[in-house]
């Protein structure tokens, strides 16, 4: 076994003058910034330490106080507060393992991945994250939080930006945060709208969020439940399908289908609607083919053979 230790200036010279053990076939790997370096010729492993060791391959940069690089396996392990950057993706974690040939990074111990775009950015935090920087894809597991910001208009700082926050147990994103599937106790907050369910799909290009698995939605002070809920973010409209139940204050309405339009300020149910109004323990009943409940008013409009049973109150 041959084991070598180098001072910083000697190590730097080795990189420039004797590139082959670090430069394997294909794109080279360059490591700089170490104050201490150790190489084991038997295993082909470099161990490097310093204030900021930098490993670079193509457009990937890996920075950490400690880096162990296997020349044979083309795998790097970094610890001590790691930052890995490539293109428009950044990974931060206490420990990161990078598989250079697969363009894959595995971060754990409380990890973060950030994707930057022209119109905003998407950030994932989780106990464990695997990211493929060539594909712009990531899988986050354990206490996942996804925060997405979008510029909605050319405005002054602090204005014209929409923030969407998602909590789940597992999230997979594609296309650098443009699409996502979340599973396990999912909750999404977007302005005064909240969505929950067991599974959620987000497509920012289509501007849709689809929730299944006992989905629930709240828009202002109106709540809705259904078999499936679809939110269209730009229009600020929510569609509810299958066993729809909408509640607001003393009102509770059921129907096969419904929609909530935040901008217009109303919720509409259709397909045969039953509405119950409970006041002082007494329940007024209203049925009709369709109904509109106004979100900011104490008003309901029933259409299509309406029938009411109401109690007289003093």
Say whether pTM exceeds 0.95.
no
To the nearest whole percent, how much of the chain has pLDDT over 90?
A: 70
Tens-digit pLDDT profile for residues 19-60: 334 433 567 899 999 999 999 999 999 999 999 999 999 889
Cα distances (angstroms) measured from residue 132 to each of 10, 99, 128: 34, 10, 14
Cα distances (angstroms) measured from residue 101 to each of 27, 76, 98, 150, 175: 10, 11, 9, 33, 20
Q: What pLDDT shows up at residue 159?
A: 56
Instruction: Extract the tokens encoding 66.
Output: 């400690």
Q: 160-175 burial string, b = 16+ CB within 10 Å, else e?
A: eeeebebbbbbbbbee
User: What's the mean pLDDT in 284-313?
Assistant: 90
Tens-digit pLDDT profile for residues 128-150: 999 998 888 999 999 999 998 87
Q: What pLDDT shows up at residue 268?
A: 97
User: What's the mean pLDDT in 286-298?
Assistant: 93
**Lowest-pLDDT range of 14-28, 55-69, 150-164:** 14-28
Tally of residues, the chain: 314
Tens-digit pLDDT profile for residues 112-130: 999 887 778 899 999 999 9
Rounded CA separation 7/62 (Å):
21
| Domains of the chain, first to last | 1-86 (2.60.450.10), 100-214 (2.60.450.10), 244-314 (no CATH)
Tens-digit pLDDT profile for residues 179-216: 999 999 999 999 899 999 999 999 988 999 999 999 99
């Amino acid at each position: 076994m041959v084991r070598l230790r180098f001072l910083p200036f000697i190590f730097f010279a080795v990189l420039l003058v004797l590139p082959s053990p670090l430069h394997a076939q294909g794109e080279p790997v360059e490591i700089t910034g170490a104050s201490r370096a150790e190489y084991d010729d038997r295993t082909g492993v470099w161990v490097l330490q310093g204030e900021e060791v930098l490993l670079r391959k193509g457009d990937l940069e890996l920075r950490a106080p400690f880096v162990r690089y296997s020349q044979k396996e083309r795998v790097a392990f970094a610890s001590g507060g790691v930052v890995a950057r490539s293109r428009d993706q950044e990974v931060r974690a206490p420990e990161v393992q990078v598989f250079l040939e697969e363009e894959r990074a595995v971060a754990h111990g409380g990890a973060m991945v950030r994707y930057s775009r022209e119109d905003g950015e998407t950030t994932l935090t989780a106990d464990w994250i695997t990211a493929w920087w060539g594909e712009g894809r990531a899988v986050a597991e354990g206490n996942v939080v996804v925060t997405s910001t979008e510029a909605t208009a050319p405005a002054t700082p602090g204005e014209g930006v929409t923030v969407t926050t998602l909590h789940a147990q597992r999230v997979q994103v594609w296309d650098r945060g443009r699409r996502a599937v979340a599973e396990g106790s999912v909750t999404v907050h977007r302005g005064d709208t909240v969505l929950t369910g067991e599974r959620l799909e987000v497509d920012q290009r289509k501007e849709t969020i689809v929730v299944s698995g006992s989905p629930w939605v709240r828009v202002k002070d109106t709540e809705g439940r259904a078999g499936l809920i679809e939110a269209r973010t730009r229009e600020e409209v929510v569609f509810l399908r299958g066993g729809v139940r909408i509640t607001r204050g003393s009102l509770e309405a059921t129907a096969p289908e419904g929609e909530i339009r935040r901008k217009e300020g109303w919720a509409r149910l259709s397909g045969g609607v039953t509405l119950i109004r409970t006041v002082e323990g007494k329940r007024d009943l209203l049925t009709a083919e369709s109904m509109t409940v106004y979100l900011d008013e104490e008003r309901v409009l029933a259409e299509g053979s309406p029938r009411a049973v109401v109690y007289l109150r003093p």
